[in-house]
Structures are given as C-alpha cells and as structure tokens.
Chains A and B, each alone.
Chain A
Amino acid sequence: MFYSLQIVALDLGIKMITSFKNRDVVSILDFTREELETLFEYADKFRKVEGKLNLLNGKVVSLAFFEPSTRTRLSFEVAAKRLGADVVSIIGEEASSIAKGENLADTIRMLDAYSNIIILRHRYEGAAKYAAEIAENPVINAGDGIQHHPTQAMIDLYTVKTLFGSIDGLVYVVLGDLRYGRAAMSFIYGLSLYKPKKLYVVAPQLLRIRNEVLQILKERGLPIEEKNDVREIISEADVLYVTRIQRERFPDPMEYEKVRGSYIVTLDLLEKGKSTLKVLHPLPKVDEIDHKVDTSRYAAYYLQARLGVPVRMSLLSLVSGVEI
C-alpha cells in the first residue's frame, strides 16, 4: 500500500531532530546513533511512498561531481526530484569553468548562490569540509578522495537494519581495500556508533587498514580484529561487506597489479557461512564477487543500491528542515 503525500504529511510520529537542519554532512562520525535512527525512520516512510512529492518545492539542489559516479549521483538526483526540488549539475571538471582554471572555492560560491543544497564529490580529501567552510548553504559530501563517503555509510547501515532488524549484535566481515576505500572505511566508522558483536577486517597486505585508523577505532571501543583470510571467519559472519580495489587511487599502477584479483567471493565460500549471511557491496564491483552470487540469496547489494533513494530523500528532507 502506498501513501499519498497528504497522508504522509499527516502521519506524524517521527520527532524532527532540529540538529539536522542546515547541517553539513562531511563525515558519518559527525552523527550520533540517535540521529541516524531518525534518518532511518524517515527512510522507512519514504520507502512506502510512490511518485513525486512536493516537500522541497521551490528548492534547488546542486550536484557537483568531479569524479565518476553512477549510483550516488543518480540516486541523489532521483531523491531530490522525487521531493519536488529542481536539480542543477556539474559533471566532471571539463564541463565547468574549472577546466578554465577556476578554483573550487569560486565554484562553490557560485553553487551556493544558485542552490539551496550542494552535493559534492571530489578527488581531494577534505574537499567537502573546505566547501562547507565556504558555503552558507549545507554541503553534503558525496565522497572526498579516499576519506569519507557518509551517505554511503548511512545506506549501508540502513540496509543492515532492513535485513536484520538491528545493527547491533551482528558479526561483520569487511573484505577488500581498506587503504583507499572510502565506502568501506565510512561503513566501519558508522559501525563504531553501534554495538556490533565483532568486526573482522580482511585486506591484502598492501591495502590494510592504516594503523592510526585502527587505533582510533579501538579507542572508540569497536571490537575490531584483522584477519588474513576470509575463510577463517566466514562461518561466524552475518554480514560480509566487500569492496573493489580502488585502482584509480594507486599512485603506482605496478602496485595495483600486485593486488589485482587477490580476493574473490564465490558461492563456495558463502556456502561455508550461515544460511542467513548477506553480502553487501557499495558498488561498482568488478571481479571481486563471482557473478553467480548476484542471483543467490546472499546478495544484498542490489537492495542496498535501491535503498540509496529513500535514504537520500530522508537526508535531503532533514537537512532542509522538512518534517514528515
């Protein structure tokens, strides 16, 4: 059953947390568990709504994506449009005055003048924080270099909650590129807001989690442990979070060749785990998951991608101060 906008507007019961309004979204660590719970309650509502709403009528959302993107950009665009906002976009540096030498600061000032929310993806770490210092309107980080991807973490956590009913008490395995993978790291940071039973991280030697980050996570009380082989712990896992090796981040292509294809998730591996095991992946995937997994009961990554729209609708609404 689908709700109409009016019914949604009347269907109160979610207390709006004013801390979201006009807020920059730079890192998942800037949020509390309670704030994420509010976001997820919004997402639950939006999942039940079909068609276009007018909650953000008269607002303009700008998308400034200076790195390639499929899901993040499209789901933000769909989310904004479904809320009734207009969307303007810069896709790639070559299509904007950045190609003429304009700096990011001036680009942000223009987007700030033309729109109410700026969604930014950039290859430099700290770009979103910097943009947030310049813009008066909220800036949402859609990925800054190898550092943060907070909205992906929100979607990932919401996917777990949707699948298991809770984020606490589960055993997580994060497999892949923990050196350059901003989605995997943001997911792990997000887990540190909850109480997982255990978090195993498995990465090729060259792509291991940095010591300083590991230290921070341990200090935050996350029960994290590094393992060399996913087969050692697959039987314990509730969630296997897999990431692609981030080829584009390697300073030296030879280094990439050393780790390319160093792990692959197959049905054989998954069948050694619990029957309820779910595989998440922020996508795009290349060859780290066997295609046979895609149509198996383990694959949750297409659901995860679909949930990008309601979660991003929720975030845009909350940041705009819209109550549902």
Chain B
Amino acid sequence: MSSENIHTLVVPKILNGTVIDHIPAGRALDILKVLNITGGEGWRIAVLLNVESKKLGRKDIIKIERRKLTSAEVNVIALIAPTATINIIENFVVVEKFKVNVPEVIEGVIRCPNPTCISNKEREPVKSRFRTLSKDQLIFRCEYCSTIVTRDDILKLIIR
C-alpha cells in the first residue's frame, strides 16, 4: 500500500473548505494558533505532522472543513510557512490553488518586541503594524517604533 493511500484512508477528502499543504514540518500547530482555530468551532479539522514530501522531505498539512480562509489570513500564513500552498475545496474538488504571499503590511498578527513601542501600551486600541522590508529573508519593520523583526523572531511574537 502506497503512502498516498495511507493518507487517504486516515484523512478523508473534505466536501468544502481549505487544505493548507507544503507547510514546513512542525509549523502546522502554529498556523492554527495564528488563524485562531482552537477546535471548539465544531468544524472537522485534520492536522498531519511530519508526513513525507517530495519537495520538502517532511511537511505538515492542515485540512479544515467548512472554513474558507480570507486573503488576509492566507498572507499571515506566509510569515510562518512561506512554502505553503492553499487549496480551496468545493464539492470535493480543488477550485482554486495558490501559493501564499508575504503581505506588504502585517497588522495585528505579531507584536512588537520593543516594550516601549506604543503598540504595546496598555489600554490603547492600537494594533501592531509591520512593513515588509524583505519578502525573501522575512524582514519586517515596526511602523510605530522602527524595530526590525526577522524570520527567527516571528514565532515567539505571534499574538495568540
């Protein structure tokens, strides 16, 4: 039995929803957190960790039934999983497939590491906002205090 068949047996195709594929191994749970998906929503969700991938060696996959991601959510995924591809499923068929894209401006997704940045001030109705300086190297600058955030900082700065 091929590994493809095993996956099909374990995770059935979804009727309508989103499949996020080619996630770097070990990042799927972070993506769920970024998308604020807790499992309490009642949707069927499959999370595959460390499965075989021709492109990546190992990869993660997320299948979310009944949930279609907004373009803003898709862009946010790029910060954690720049290799990810998004498949939109309708009636078991992939109707749209695309790669994620790092947005020019990232709002309310990662907090600024500078404790005296206005975006970290208590009781202020302010969202963090970063401008992308390099999409390839994942380098971002806080729009308020100019602090630079790089790829390695992203995970610990995600606003839960």
Q: Which of B118, B143, B146 contacts A124 (CB 8 A)?
A: B118
Q: Is A101 an interface residue (CB 8 A)?
A: yes
| A126, B127: Cα distance in complex, Å | 12
| A125, B124: Cα distance in complex, Å | 14
Within 8 A of B (CB), among A73-131: 101, 103-105, 122-127, 129-130
Q: Is B25 an interface residue (CB 8 A)?
A: no
**Nearest B residue to A128, CB-CB:** B118
Q: Is B145 an interface residue (CB 8 A)?
A: yes
User: Once the chains bind, are B144 and A125 in contact (CB under 8 Å)?
Assistant: yes
Assess A129 versus B114: contact at CB under 8 Å? Given A101-B123, A104-B121, A105-B125: no
**What chain A residues lie within 8 Å of B148 (beta carbons)?**
212
Q: Is A145 an interface residue (CB 8 A)?
A: yes
Interface of B is mostly: loop
The total of Cβ contacts below 8 Å across the A-B interface reads: 47
User: Once the chains bind, are B121 and A129 in contact (CB under 8 Å)?
Assistant: no
User: Once the chains bind, are A126 and B125 in contact (CB under 8 Å)?
Assistant: no
**What chain B residues lie within 8 Å of A101 (beta carbons)?**
123
Q: Is A62 an interface residue (CB 8 A)?
A: no
Q: Is B69 an interface residue (CB 8 A)?
A: no
User: Once the chains bind, are B123 and A124 in contact (CB under 8 Å)?
Assistant: no
Q: Is A147 an interface residue (CB 8 A)?
A: yes
Size of the chain B interface, CB-CB below 8 angstroms: 16
Q: Which of A105, A126, A212 contacts B117 (CB 8 A)?
A: A126
User: Once the chains bind, are A125 and B123 in contact (CB under 8 Å)?
Assistant: no
Assess A130 versus B118: contact at CB under 8 Å? Given A145-B145, A147-B145: yes
**What chain A residues lie within 8 Å of B145 (beta carbons)?**
125-126, 145, 147
**What chain A residues lie within 8 Å of B117 (beta carbons)?**
124-126
- In the A-B complex, the 4 residue pairs with the smallest Cβ-Cβ separation, listed nearest first, are A126-B144, A125-B145, A126-B118, A124-B118
- Chain A residues close to B by CB (< 8 Å): 101, 103-105, 122-127, 129-130, 144-147, 212
